[in-house]
């Protein structure tokens, strides 16, 4: 039986390459065939002994095909009994309100930013002071932060401008206390905060204080990304057009439309309603 290493948060590419090296690194290059890959798929397990989802296995194989061209077009068999990925829980208005009430200090401002902007956690942690237009209430999303280091956004569509309610901008300004440079949310050393630290030290205790710990089950996860799902839901429920929802949240569109992106440099709509859930 093959067991994968423990996965580090969001170190996806490095994690996959290391796992593939453990599985196939000692084999001659030409011996990595479809039969060998299919045998590995049948025996690979997580540390807890559970099987990988079909989507995760496909992700591994797609990277392996980049390394071994012979696998392109090869017949790879994915077990149908693979465990499906957990659903991401989408909280209600009252649950989000309880979370914000339980949050304290800097962490509450971070939660408020995630809820009212719909940003990914990495985008929020990579937000710089100069990215905040305090006069026009606009957030410029130009980068992300992973493992305490700044980097590019997840995709081309993720680079965007998002309007925010005045209450959000005021909360950010109050948090900064006239600071003019650096990350909006940063450590004492001035580096971007780490997702894993925030999750353990602040998210779980805040979720427990809001009496929402039971929302994380065997079938559902309730983490920072749930707030992004809530933001999408909130915008749709309050009448924002689907194209504007995608633009606001930096999602890839089904059709390429450069004119749409140019004509909506700053998305508007449901952000003006967000003050109701504080």
Q: Quote the pTM value.
A: 0.68
For the ranges 15-29, 71-85, 127-141, 254-268, the lowest mean pLDDT is seen at 254-268
State residue 93's pLDDT score.
94
What CATH number should be reported for the domain whose range is 88-277?
1.10.443.10
Is the separation of the CB atoms in 26 and 64 below 8 Å?
A: no
* Average pLDDT rounded to a whole number, residues 257-276: 38
How confident is residue 258, by pLDDT bands cut at 50, 70 and 90? Answer: very low
DSSP state letter for 150: E
* Average pLDDT rounded to a whole number, residues 127-151: 94
β-pair partners for 2: 44
pLDDT at 261 over 70: no
**Contacts of range 212-216, beta carbons closer than 8 Å, 24 or more positions apart:** 212/91, 212/95, 212/98, 212/99, 215/89, 215/91, 215/95, 216/89
Pairing of strands 87-88, 44-45: unpaired
Q: Which of 43, 175, 46, 51 is nearest to 108 (CA)?
A: 175
Strands, sheet with 132-133, edge to edge from the N-terminal-most edge strand: 132-133, 138-141, 160-163
Q: Quote the CA–CA distance of 11 and 225 in Å, as a whole number.
A: 17
**What is the CB neighbour count within 10 angstroms for residue 64?**
19
pLDDT at 71 over 60: yes
pLDDT at 224 over 90: yes
For the ranges 91-105, 188-202, 239-253, 262-276, the lowest mean pLDDT is seen at 262-276
Helix (H) or strand (E) holding 160: strand 160-163
The Cα angle at residue 241 between residues 168 and 257, in degrees rounded to 5: 105
State residue 85's pLDDT score.
66
* Average pLDDT rounded to a whole number, residues 232-258: 80
pLDDT at 59 over 80: yes
> How do the domains of the chain map onto residue ranges?
2-71, 88-277
Q: What is the DSSP string of 73-99?
A: T------TTPPPPPEEP---HHHHHHH
For the ranges 6-10, 67-71, 85-89, 164-168, the lowest mean pLDDT is seen at 6-10
Q: Quote the CA–CA distance of 270 and 171 in Å, as a whole number.
A: 18
**What is the CB neighbour count within 10 angstroms for residue 46?**
15
Which residues are CB-neighbours of 70 under 8 A, at least 6 positions away? 30, 32, 33
Which residues are CB-neighbours of 200 under 8 A, at least 6 positions away? none
The Cα angle at residue 209 between residues 277 and 193, in degrees rounded to 5: 80
CA dihedral 92, 93, 98, 99 (to 10 degrees): 70
Helix (H) or strand (E) holding 220: strand 220-221
């Amino acid at each position: 039986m093959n067991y994968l290493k423990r996965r580090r948060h969001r170190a996806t590419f490095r994690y996959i390459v290391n796992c593939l090296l453990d599985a196939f690194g000692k084999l001659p290059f030409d011996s990595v065939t479809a039969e060998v890959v299919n045998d590995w798929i049948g025996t690979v397990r997580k540390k807890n002994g559970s099987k990988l989802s079909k989507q995760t296995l496909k992700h591994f194989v797609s990277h392996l095909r980049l390394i071994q061209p012979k696998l392109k077009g090869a017949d790879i068999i994915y077990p149908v009994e693979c465990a499906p990925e957990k659903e991401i829980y989408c909280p209600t208005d009252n649950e989000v309100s309880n979370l914000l009430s339980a949050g304290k200090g800097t962490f509450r401002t971070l939660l408020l930013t995630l809820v009212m902007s719909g940003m990914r956690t990495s985008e929020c942690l990579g937000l710089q002071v100069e990215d905040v237009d305090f006069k026009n209430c606009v957030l410029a999303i130009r980068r992300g932060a992973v493992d305490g280091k700044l980097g590019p956004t997840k995709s081309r569509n993720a680079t965007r401008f998002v309007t925010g309610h005045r209450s959000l901008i005021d909360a950010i300004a109050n948090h900064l206390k006239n600071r003019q440079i650096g990350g909006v949310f940063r450590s004492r050393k001035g580096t971007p905060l780490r997702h894993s630290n925030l999750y353990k030290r602040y998210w779980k205790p805040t979720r427990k204080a809001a009496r929402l710990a039971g929302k994380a089950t065997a079938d559902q996860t309730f983490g920072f990304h749930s707030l992004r799902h809530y933001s999408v839901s909130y915008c749709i429920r309050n009448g924002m057009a689907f194209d504007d929802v995608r633009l606001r949240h930096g999602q890839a569109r089904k059709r390429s439309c450069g004119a749409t992106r140019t004509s909506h440099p700053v998305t508007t709509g449901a952000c003006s309603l967000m003050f109701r859930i504080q």
